[in-house]
Amino acid sequence: MSTTTGTPTAPTAPLKIAFIIGSSREGRFAPVVADWFTARAAEYGGIELDIIDIADLELPTTHPDWGTPRTPELAALAARVVAADGFVVLTPEYNHSFPASLKTFIDLHHTEWEAKAVGFVSYGGVGGGLRAVEQLRLIFTELHCTSVREIVSFHNGWDHFTEGGKAYEVDGAIGAAKVMLDQLTWWAEALRTARASHPYQT
């Protein structure tokens, strides 16, 4: 009688997820939602979160010419986007859309986004930032990203948190965060494996 022993599976490296805080407005509500989400991501596990806060960046007012060397700061920023296996974008909704500073950040990069997964966390008034997210989906599709269906949305977001930033009862948001991360990590892992086996062609 003989038995067959399978080849042990090598441990999978944690997924590198860049969490992009997409508001730079003074007095913004974004840090409250960001703190809540990073806590959920820490509980989820298997993720290395790189927090990129738009408000901390000195974004150029004009786009660098193609082929022109980037400044050291912009080169370091691009390297962080390249290193990510996937992204979570936190966006408010301003006038049925997302902030101009977020669009500037997105447009500074091109191939760095390709063949990666992106999920969204949004907040706003009664719309909860959903219109901003739908516009972002179009942009990331153009950049060859795969956006996941489920999002985390806070309608009248400021009503869900105390002045100290502690969330009220948000079981629905907690569940939505888990489902979004389930989808994001599935796609991020699948696309990481695909990129490793053969380069993505545009």
Residue 2: per-residue pLDDT: 39
The ranges assigned to domains in the chain are: 22-196
pLDDT tens string, the chain, 202 residues long: the values are: 434 444 444 457 899 999 999 999 998 999 999 999 999 999 999 999 999 999 999 888 777 666 667 889 999 999 999 999 999 999 999 999 999 999 999 999 999 999 999 999 999 999 999 999 999 999 999 999 999 999 999 998 888 887 766 777 677 889 999 999 999 999 999 999 999 999 888 7
Other residues' Cβ atoms within 10 Å of the Cβ of residue 32: 21
CATH of domain 22-196: 3.40.50.360
Residue 5: per-residue pLDDT: 46
Write down the pTM of the prediction: 0.90
Contacts for 132 with CB less than 8 Å, ≥ 6 apart: 91, 92, 93, 94, 96, 97, 98, 122, 124
Residue 192: per-residue pLDDT: 96
